[in-house]
Structure 1
Amino acid sequence: MRENWVVICGAARNRERLEETVLHHHRLRKAGTINGVVLSTWYGEIDQHQGLRDLLETLGIGTVETADPGMDRSGNLARQTKQLRLGLELCPEDAFVLKTRTDKNLTTDLDTAIFSTDLTPDAESYPGFPPLFEHRIAVNEAHILSPFFITDFEFYGHRRDLTRLLDLNANLWFRHNGWREHWIPEIRLFGLPFCADFPVFRAYFRRAVDPVRINLPDVPVYRHESLSPEASAVSAKIVRLVTSDKFASSMLMTWWAILDRYFRIGLTQSAGSETACAADRERLAGVPLEELLAPATSPGHGLPNNTRGPDNYFIRARNHAFLDAFRQGELADTADYRRLRAVYETVSDNAFHAEFRDSLGEPHPGAARFFQKLTGIIGEQPYYAIIRKPGQQYEGI
């Protein structure tokens, strides 16, 4: 029988919210749904609230306290990884672990069926893909147009796989190889593990920012803010380029393949359960792919975007229905669908990635052409590096 643990990470800013979180998971343990709970926080967080330590001990909640490393160039990534890593060390070696937060979590909307869901990866559909994890990692939401933008406040996986996720983040490859400094912690947490084995992402992010996080002054930093009409129009052009350009669409389809091979989307009863997934999949039948990639129409098909006014391009999947419908040919048979489906088949074989080459000395031709097209939309961007070969003009990448 699977052993399930919960690691609650974060500061104890709001005692009421923290107690609600702790008591909820304590009830799950009493019901036999999970086996143990750990609170991973900073020195002084527990003792600032009178009686909180006694409550945790009475409930049998394990605790680990450590020094706050503060913000670094990765934003809050150092904080998140330190708390999670220490919390994982208090869980049994063979346990599956739900990582959640003290202040932002699913609590009563969590689909507890996840604690018994089969997370065996579909390795046969992706021949040669490296076995980075033993099992799939279950996540709450994933942004389908934003590579590696996965909601990070709550996810679930085997302890060894979550430890591996953190280990693969320990390198600083992105700081020296063209990764954009404005990358948010979510993308760094889930993106770095795939850098070495999927070079198409290295080639892409050397030349481009996230399609919906374009580098313009009036584009908001956070996904829940609205794009201005001008920025929205530019984003639409970039998304169209990314889905039509041969090189960029290979990158995007690799992102979808990684989502299907290494992750399972959906943690909530309201949107991620089997019932909700089946309903969304039925709703997707016969829908043109173009409607799913447009913010004005995607919410009507179970792919909402975070808006406070005009729609934006942070289109997100809350369960696996979109990927299942795409793979199984259940969407409308349009020219765009057939083209992207063919690209998906190509990149689902690791031979594509094993043969992919891109470097300063020998840029990938498709990546170079994509950069020229992108520059035509958003204007000149700072180069990661400028080189000059004898007898040639300056080249940027």
Structure 2
Amino acid sequence: MQVVADVGGIPGKDCNGFCKYCYFRKVKDVKVFGCAHCLPNKIGCERCSKGVSETQGAFKTPFEVMNQVQSALMMNMGRGEISAYISGGGDISCYPYLESLTANLNQFSISSVLGYTCGKGITDSATATNLINNGVKEVSFTVFSTDPKLRKEWVKDPNPEEALKACQIFCENIDLTGAAVIIPGVNDGDVLRETCNSLEEWGAKGMLLMRFANTFNEGLILGNEPILKGFESQPVEDFSQLVKQINKEYKFRVSGTPVCDPVTGGPFAIASAENEVFLQFIKPITGEATIITSKLAEPYISKIFSKLETGDNVNVVACEKEIACLITKEDLEKLDLSDIKQAVILPGRSFVHQLDAERILSSDGVERIIGRGPDTLTVDGELSIDMTDENVIERELEQFNDLVDAVNFFGMRRIG
């Protein structure tokens, strides 16, 4: 069993300053979007305001974090070996009580997993050894590059050599998954291979490649685009090929986000011809609805529903936004309503309030029924890197059955 130990922290403040490519850089105001968690008559809640910009609060005290862990344990007694997933809004290596927190957890026989860290809070590589001795068994380390000069310039790491030494110590003793936001012309090409060479030599478990986002349609919804002027994001097709090529060249596991995972076939593994046999486990479709999704997801979802032989009962419409979870009301306003059926299914985690969705999608005079699908329909590369292809297919079938339930419920055919 794994419980979350959220240490808090604010991006840019509790991480020794923003990385040059950070998603949260240049955010000035907390925007209020609206989402499925809002009250029915009020647009805005913690999730779609402070939550999306990760400005809830500074670092918590160890006492607060331990109380949180103990509360989670009381609700999940008797579930075998326990580990704590330590995460936060800042860089957790900058959390001033990280060593004491992991030591306290270890006293209760709770091992620790360090969520994504850039290692910018590591001033002495001995910290890695101390954390391992405190029961840390796994870490996700955003290395960016093993070139100290590039780390200093782009990650804004004040002690790049010590951070990289710590990264090596983690690799040699526990499971480390490296990560790198790929900036074309900066840390791709030969630089990326040098980074992967080092990680493989040190004994890393895997490497997650992350496509750089620089525009609203690519996912920057906080009014802070572009993050880097004069830089264009890598085309999705090129990024996918890069992930596949790096996966071929190295022995450790390689995955990409938002695409692709060469091992599991994700995202949307069940869309592939070789996995078509699994579609028989998706429930019959009896409703009529339009599924609204992202530009990247639409081809996969359309392909799956075409194989389910739904005819004209279900159509899939893409917003310009590349990530469905980051769809906002501005994306809905750009849709051609002549393509939209009377029942509409929105992505479960999209940042659109029900009131806005009903207003925008009924603005042509057709009163439409707005429902929500499941939070996700596939497994992102950040998670699938630790999964098998069977795990991913099982998860996708479960999520698509939830989507079909939504289509059948909100899109019920009416007699007469």
TM-score (norm 1): 0.30
Which structure has more relative contact order (CA 8 Å, sep 6+)? It is: 1
Higher percent of residues as helix: 1
TM-score by length of 2: 0.29
